[in-house]
């Protein structure tokens, strides 16, 4: 049995697993929402009559809201627990998704997209809180890896499979369907996620509301973890979650569905290796070496992808998959930031780091779109701006800069040796 810290409200292993599984499903759903615009780019640009900068900003409203609300999410989760927060957030997400589906302007669509990002922001920290409450500490890195795997599975589904559905029911129909799924998740989370014991509530309410923020934010190691997270997630969120599909479509001649399938290999790499990286780190008793290697892999493979771009589809897919492998080492950073901070503010520290991880999407998606527009030669086909290969190469090179920043962060981060040092 996995019991709570008090004798009251014992939590069985089955209940803990069900609660964690529902949390991971919510996180997987969040990733479907996160990447969905990447397979709707032409439809959104046509319906709202916008270019790359505006489309990047529309997609990034998810990340703006998600990142900006991370601190409140961590504070609330430390004090009130994951069950009610995640259930209420999923219900609000259903409303926001419906609002996006019914949008008739870029402004209303952006607002809906922002509310979607704000509500699904509770999934990641809430699920890690479940892992911290009712599972052994030695299982934490592996559970964080499993959580990332389910998230990436959502991203994979949000690529080629979702594109097939878009071609049948349109992007508005897809958003309506996602609203219904969020509502169902809300009910299941409320009914099946275990409640914290009274003792757990008392332990997590000892510190003042701002004490956890002060402790986590004053720790330099927290910000090094945030730098690593930002850099290693940037290719996945800036490239895979939005610009990979139009790049493959317009520059390399793949159909939108084919491009979505190729781009999804980035998420497959993350999905396959995230839990393995966590397990390896726990087994080695080291955090940093794996993240250093992952940063180097990302730099090399992504440089080959954008500067050389193999014409052989299998080779290109393999390179994108390996880039996902390198990026998946970022999962270990969540264990590292938890170990560098006291348990009383662990959710807050996780939220600070996750704010920067998701912030990479908020920064890089519109930045890439802006660079595309800046170097655009004026070509328009069927009402959609078309960018040249050179323009894409310049824009996507920005991802190499921030990935290099992640490598520097891994070299400066203090090794925890898988022990609580905060």
DSSP 225-273: HHHHHHHHHHIIIIIIIIIHHHHHHHTT---HHHHHHHHHHHHHHHHHH
Q: What is the DSSP letter of 105?
A: S
Nearest Cα to 246, choosing from 394, 384, 61? 384
- Which range is most confident: 131-140, 157-166, 294-303? 294-303
Segment 282-294 mean pLDDT? 93
Closest CA to 242 of 47, 100, 43, 55: 55
H and E: helices and strands count for the chain: 19, 2
Residue with tokens 């520097």: 408
What is the C-alpha to C-alpha distance for residues 175 and 191, in angstroms, rounded to an integer? 25
Work out whether the CA dihedral 286, 292, 297, 302 comes out positive or negative.
Answer: positive
At 6, is the pLDDT very low, low, confident or very high (cuts 50, 70, 90)?
A: very low
Query: How many Å is the Cα radius of gyration of the chain?
Result: 21
392/239 Cα distance (integer angstroms): 11
What average pLDDT does the segment 332-352 reach? 84
Q: Which residues fall within 8 angstroms of residue 334, CB to CB, at 6 or more apart?
A: 128, 141, 144, 229, 350, 353, 354
A 10 A CB-CB count for 412 gives: 13
Handedness of CA 364, 365, 368, 371 (dihedral sign): negative
The DSSP-derived string for 46-83 is: HHHT--HHHHHHHHHHHHHHHHHTHHHHHHHHHHH-HH
Polymer length in residues for the chain: 422
Evaluate if residue 20 carries a pLDDT over 80: yes
pLDDT for residue 201: 54
Whole-number Å distance between alpha carbons of 316 and 308: 10
Q: For 12-26, give the secondary structure using H, E and C.
A: CHHHHHHHHHHHHHH
Least confident of 33-42, 205-214, 341-350: 205-214
Q: What pLDDT is recorded for position 209?
A: 57
Quickly state the pLDDT bin for 372 (edges 50, 70, 90).
very high
Q: What is the pLDDT, as a whole number, of residue 237?
A: 92
- Judge whether 392 and 210 are in contact, CB under 8 Å: no
Strands 384-385 and 380-381: antiparallel
Inform me whether the pLDDT recorded for 159 exceeds 70: yes
Distance CA 292, CA 232 (A): 10
Residue of 63, 45, 333, 274 whose CA lies nearest to 156:
274
Question: Could you tell me what percent of the chain has a pLDDT over 90?
Answer: 56
Inter-residue contact 134 to 194 (CB < 8 Å): yes
Summary mean pLDDT of the chain:
89
Please report how the helices 52-68 and 106-134 are oriented relative to each other, as an axis angle in degrees rounded to 10.
40
Of the pLDDT bands very low, low, confident and very high (cuts 50, 70, 90), residue 1 is: very low
Q: What is the pLDDT of residue 4?
A: 43
Q: How many CB atoms lie within 10 A of CB 251?
A: 18
Residue 152 pLDDT class (50, 70, 90 cuts) = confident
CA-based nearest residue to 37, from 22, 47, 26? 47
């Amino acid at each position: 049995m996995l019991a709570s810290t008090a004798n009251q409200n014992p939590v069985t292993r089955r209940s803990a697993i069900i609660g964690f599984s529902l949390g991971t499903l919510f996180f997987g759903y969040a990733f479907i929402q996160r990447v969905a615009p990447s397979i709707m780019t032409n439809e959104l640009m046509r319906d709202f009559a916008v270019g790359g900068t505006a489309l990047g900003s529309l997609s990034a409203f998810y990340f703006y809201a998600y990142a900006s609300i991370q601190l409140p999410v961590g504070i609330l989760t430390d004090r009130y627990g994951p069950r009610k927060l995640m259930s209420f957030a999923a219900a609000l997400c259903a409303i926001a998704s419906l609002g996006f589906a019914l949008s008739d302007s870029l402004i209303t669509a952006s607002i809906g997209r922002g509310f979607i990002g704000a509500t699904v922001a509770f999934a990641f920290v809430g699920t890690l809180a479940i892992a911290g409450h009712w599972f052994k500490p030695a299982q934490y890195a592996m559970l964080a890896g499993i959580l990332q795997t389910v998230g990436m599975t959502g991203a994979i589904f949000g690529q080629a499979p979702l594109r097939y559905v878009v071609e049948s029911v349109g992007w508005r129909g897809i958003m309506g369907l996602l609203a219904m799924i969020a509502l169902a998740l809300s009910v299941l989370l409320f009914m099946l996620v275990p409640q914290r014991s009274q003792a757990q509530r008392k332990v997590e309410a000892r510190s003042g509301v701002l004490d956890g923020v002060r402790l986590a934010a004053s720790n330099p190691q927290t910000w090094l973890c945030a730098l690593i997270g930002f850099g290693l997630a940037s290719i996945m969120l800036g490239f895979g979650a939005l610009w990979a599909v139009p790049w493959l479509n317009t520059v390399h001649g793949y159909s939108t569905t084919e491009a979505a399938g190729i781009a999804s290999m980035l998420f497959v790499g993350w999905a396959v290796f995230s839990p393995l990286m966590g397990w390896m780190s726990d087994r080695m008793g080291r955090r940093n070496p794996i993240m250093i290697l992952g940063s180097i892999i990302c730099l090399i493979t992504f440089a080959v992808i954008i500067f050389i771009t193999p014409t052989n589809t299998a080779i290109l897919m393999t390179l994108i998959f390996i880039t996902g492998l390198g990026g998946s080492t970022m999962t270990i950073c969540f264990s590292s930031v938890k170990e560098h901070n006291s348990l009383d503010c662990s959710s807050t520290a996780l939220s600070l780091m996750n704010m920067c991880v998701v912030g990479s999407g908020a920064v890089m998606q519109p930045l890439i779109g802006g660079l595309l527009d800046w170097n655009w030669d004026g070509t328009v086909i069927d009402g959609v701006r078309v960018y040249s290969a050179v323009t894409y190469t310049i824009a996507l090179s920005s991802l190499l800069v921030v990935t290099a920043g992640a490598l520097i962060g891994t070299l400066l981060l203090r090794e925890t040796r898988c022990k609580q040092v905060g």
